[in-house]
Chain A
Amino acid sequence: MAKIIKIASTTTPRNANPFRTSRSVATNPFKYSNFEGNTLQFADVFEGFEPKNISKLKMIAASVTGTMNKIKSGFEPIVNFVNRVRGGISSAWDYAKNTSVTDLPGMRTFSRVMNTPVTDLPGIKTINRVMNTPIEINLLSGITDSLSGIKTGISGRISSINDNVTTFGKELSDKWTALVSKIQGSRISSDLTVNELEELWKKEIELEVGGAV
């Protein structure tokens, strides 16, 4: 039995199964591809396939050319835009040159307003009527009363202020007198005359009486 298996293994083609791959034995994956039952050999399929020796200078030149093409394609919309603007300006100039001023939009309305008399403008009649209306006596009387009230109010305020100023002045005078007396009191001596001492004493009495009141 063992001999039979061994003979079979030797007679059977070694790679009969086309899907059977082995990393150790199969190196070309296209070697076993079946094109209508024909097996293509490696040398037939990749005939003449060899890496070409391209110079680096050519590669750089090709790259620059491609870049320039891209830039050119980017400029094209700008050029078109400029051309359109130029065309628009030209059209506007032609329109302005060939159109009369009187035909401009809004000129007819403007001309109509300018030719209308001022007295006919809307609102002028109302203003004219108000300006020509005589001022009534009652209005003058009301203004007179208002002025009289303002005068009375101002007079009252001034009187109140006057009273306040008077009171303030009296208080200020008393405090000033007290201050002067205090300063003078600090240098009371027999060098002063009797009359001066008498006046100082009287002021002290007045301050005491005023303070007591």
Chain B
Amino acid sequence: MNRNVLEIIDALSAHEDNESIRVLEELGTNSPDNEVREYTSRALVRKNVHDSLKVVIINQGKGINDLSPSVAMSTINEILALKDKEEVIKILDDTISMHSDESVKENARSVKSLLSLS
């Protein structure tokens, strides 16, 4: 993966405004490169805010719902590594209860189970 892209993703993850999340979602999670998508998802998880966690949990084909197992597993591992899991559990509960897509609900349920076991 391009080193400049890595540095750009790191710089965007350091920003706290929602505009940085929008850029990460548009350019990172939609990238055809698996490594870029993986690195972007982990960066969004590390932000640990509602808007960033929502991107990797409730969107089909992004984060834990990515078609690439490596991207999905890396995102799950980053969620499990969070110290403050309050926001992520809240979003997982809302996804399990209210999301329209059953596969997204199933993935959210699996991640919540892992969180309860960790």
Contact = CB atoms under 8 A, between A and B. Distances in A.
B15 A208 contact: no
A190 B14 CA distance: 6
A194 interface: yes
A189 B10 CA distance: 8
Interface in B7-30: 7-8, 10-12, 14-15, 17, 19-20, 23, 27
B113 interface: no
Contact of B27 (A188, A190, A202): A202
Contact of B4 (A190, A195, A204): A204
B114 interface: no
Q: Do most interface residues of chain A lie in helix, strand or loop, or is the interface mixed?
A: helix
Contact of A197 (B2, B3, B8): B8
A192 interface: yes
A172 B4 CA distance: 22
The interface size bin for chain A is: 10 to 19
Given A201-B27, A202-B27, A208-B2, A194 B7 contact: no
B67 interface: no
A200 B4 CA distance: 9
The interface size bin for chain B is: 10 to 19
Contact of A190 (B3, B15, B19, B23): B15
Interface string A102-113: 000000000000
Nearest to B20: A194
Residue of B4, B7, B27 with most chain A CB atoms under a 10 A cut-off: B4
Interface string B31-70: 0000000000000000000000000000000000000000
A200 B8 contact: yes
A194 B23 contact: yes
Contact of B2 (A194, A195, A204): A204
Interface in A161-210: 181-182, 185, 188-190, 192, 194-195, 197-198, 200-202, 204-205, 208
B82 interface: no
A204 B12 contact: no
A185 B14 contact: no
A204 to B, nearest CB: 5
Interface of A: 181-182, 185, 188-190, 192, 194-195, 197-198, 200-202, 204-205, 208
Given A182-B4, A198-B23, A201-B5, 17 more contacts: A185-B4, A188-B8, A188-B11, A189-B7, A190-B11, A190-B14, A190-B15, A192-B11, A194-B12, A194-B17, A197-B8, A197-B11, A197-B20, A201-B27, A204-B4, A205-B27, A208-B2
